[in-house]
Amino acid sequence: MQKLKTLSLLAGMIAASQVQADGRDYISVVGSSTVYPFSTVVAERFGKSTSFKTPKIESTGTGGGMKLFCKGTGVDTPDITNASRRIKESELTMCHENGVDGVVEVLIGYDGIVVANDINSHDFNLSRKDLFLALAKEVPTGKEGELVANPYTTWNEVNTDLPAVKIEVLGPPPTSGTRDAFVELAMEGGCKAFPWIKATKAEDKSKYKTICHTIREDGAYVEAGENDNLIIQKLQKNPDALGIFGFSFLDQNADLVKGSMVDGAAPEFETIASGEYPVSRPLFFYVKKAHVSEIPGMQEFLAEFTSEKAMGEEGYLTDKGLIPLDEDKYMKVKTDTLELNNLAL
Partner 1 sequence: MNNTDIVKQSLKKRYFKERLFKTMGMLSIVTAILFLLLLLTDIFTKAWPAFIQTRVELTVDLNEADLGIDAQSDEQAIMSADFRKPIRAALLNTFPEVTKRKQKRELYSLTSMGAEFQLRDMVIENPQLIGTQQTIQFMADDDVDAVIKGTIDRLLPESDRRVKNDKLGWIETLEASGQITTGFNWHFFAAGDSREPEMAGIKGAILGSLYTLLVTLALSFPVAVAAAIYLEEFAPKNRFIDFIEININNLAAVPSIVFGLLGLAVFINFFSMPRSAPIVGGIVLSLMTLPTIIIASRSAIKAVPPSLREAALGLGASKMQSVFHHVLPAALPGILTGTIIGMAQALGETAPLLMIGMVAFIVDIPQSVTDPSTVLPIQVFLWADSPERGFLEKTSAAIMVLLFFLIAMNAIAIYLRKKFEKKW
What is the contact surface with partner 1 in residues (CB under 8 A)? 1-2, 5, 8-9, 11-12, 15-16, 18-19, 21, 24, 26, 28, 30, 33, 36-37, 39-41, 43-45, 47-51, 53-54, 56-60, 76, 119, 226-229, 246, 248-249, 251-255, 314, 316, 319-321
CB closer to partner 1 out of 162 and 322:
322
Smallest gap from residue 11 Cβ to partner 1 (A): 4
Which residues, other chains included, contact 268 with Cβ-Cβ below 8 Å and sequence gap of 6+? 259, 277
CB closer to partner 1 out of 211 and 235:
235
Smallest gap from residue 19 Cβ to partner 1 (A): 5
Question: Which of 119, 127, 223, 120 has the alpha carbon at shortest distance from 170?
Answer: 223
Smallest gap from residue 285 Cβ to partner 1 (A): 14
CB closer to partner 1 out of 189 and 315:
315
CB closer to partner 1 out of 19 and 344:
19
DSSP-assigned letter for residue 136? B
Q: What angle do CA 211, 277, 60 make, to 5 degrees?
A: 65
Smallest gap from residue 15 Cβ to partner 1 (A): 5
CA dist., res. 83 & res. 94, Å (int): 16
- Are 169 and 220 spatial neighbours (Cβ–Cβ below 8 Å)? yes
Smallest gap from residue 239 Cβ to partner 1 (A): 15
Smallest gap from residue 96 Cβ to partner 1 (A): 21
H/E/C letters for each residue in 165-194?
CECCEEECCCCCHHHHHHHHHHHHHHHCCC
Backbone Cα Rg of the chain: 23
CB closer to partner 1 out of 33 and 127:
33
Instruction: Phi first, then psi: give them for residue 329, nearest 5 degrees.
Output: -60, -40
CB closer to partner 1 out of 76 and 97:
76
